[in-house]
Chain A
C-alpha cells in the first residue's frame, strides 16, 4: 500500500453547493457520509467536488468529517432554517498573508478603495460609472438602479412587489417573493464565501459593505446577484410553490451552472482588486520565510490543507 495525500481541487471544477439537513455526518472508509440513524442508511457526499456544504439544523458532524472537509478544501457552513441565518463557517480566512495585506491596503487607502468600488460598479452594470463621484454618490446611484431592477424583474415574472423587506429574526413574516430572495441570496453567499476563502482573501474586509463578518462576500455577490439568483427567485415566487426553499435551491444551482459563476468568481475577485493598480506587498527583507514550505497543490491558493 502506498500513502497518497488527499488534496483540494480548484473551486472552478466543483459543483456549487449541497444542503444537508438531518443525520449524523461522519467518515466511513475515508469517505464523507451522512447516516440516517433511524434506518441506518448511509448517503455518500462527494465532498471534494462541491464548493460548500450547508448544514441545516438537525445535523451532527464528527471531528473526522470536519477534518476531511478541511483537507479537501470544502467550506462547511452552519445555517438556520432555509439557509437564511448563518451561524458559523468552517474555514478561517486569510490563509495567505500577502493577499490579506494586499486586500487590506486597498481597503485602507481612500483613493484605492474608490478605484475598487468603481470596478465593482462597472462589472455589475456593464458600464463604467460617471467620473468624479464619491463612494457615497455611487452607493446612491446603485441603490436607485437596484430598486428599479427589482421592480422590472417582478413585473417581468408577474410577482407582486412592495420592495425588498425582510426581518432577519422573523423569516416567516415576509412575503413569498422576499422569502425566495432571502433563500436565493443565502445560496449565493455560500459559494461566494467559499471562493473568497479559496482565493486566500478575508471575507470581512469589504469595500462597499463594512462592519460584518461577510462584508467582502456581499460586495462580490452583489456583482452577479441580479443575473443569477434574483431572476431565479422571482421565477419561483411567481409559481407560489409549496416548498419555496427547495425549489429556490434547485433554481439557484441551475442559474449558477448556466452563468458559470463558480468558474468566474475567483478571476472576478482578482479583477476587482487589480483595479487598485498596486502589486501585492513583498515580504519585509528581514522576514523569515517558512522553514518547511507548503507543498504544491492542484487546488486554489487559499486552501490551507497539507
Chain B
C-alpha cells in the first residue's frame, strides 16, 4: 500500500466519477488515496481508457531515491524528462504550446 495522487485536467466527467469510486477528490480534479500496486495499475487502466483528450498525472510513494514515482497521460506544458537517471519535469514556454 502506498500513497497515491492523481491530477486530472480537461477529462470527461465519466472518468472523474470513476476515480471517485476509489479515491477522494480533495480539489477539482485532484484525487488522493492509499492503494496497493495492483489497484494503482487498475486505476491507471481506467485513466488510459477514459481520459480521451484530457491529461492526467499520477504520482505515488515508492522506495525510489526520490521517494516517489509518477506517470502521465496526454499532453501538457510540463513534460517528464530523464536527468541522469532521475526523473524531472521540463516546463515548455508558452509559445511552444
Contacts and interface: CB of A to CB of B under 8 A. Distances in A.
B17 A31 contact: yes
Contact of B21 (A1, A3, A32): A32
Given A6-B21, A9-B22, A46-B22, A30 B14 contact: yes
Contacts of B20: 29-32, 44, 46
B25 interface: yes
Nearest to B46: A4
A158 to B, nearest CB: 35
Question: Is chain A's binding surface mostly helix, strand, loop or mixed?
Answer: loop
Given A13-B1, A31-B18, A46-B22, A1 B52 contact: yes
B57 interface: no
Contacts of B24: 44, 46
B49 interface: yes
Contacts of A3: 49
Contacts of A49: 21-23, 33, 35
Interface in A17-41: 27-32
B21 A47 contact: yes
Contact of B39 (A4, A6, A9): A9
Contacts of B23: 46, 49
Contacts of A27: 17
Nearest to B18: A30
A2 interface: yes
Interface residues of A, number: 22
A48 interface: yes
B59 interface: no
B12 A7 contact: no
B25 A44 contact: yes
Contacts of B25: 44
B38 interface: yes
25 contacts: A1-B14, A2-B48, A6-B18, A6-B21, A9-B22, A9-B39, A13-B1, A13-B35, A13-B38, A13-B39, A27-B17, A28-B17, A29-B13, A30-B17, A31-B17, A31-B18, A44-B24, A46-B20, A46-B24, A46-B33, A47-B21, A48-B22, A49-B33, A49-B35, A298-B38
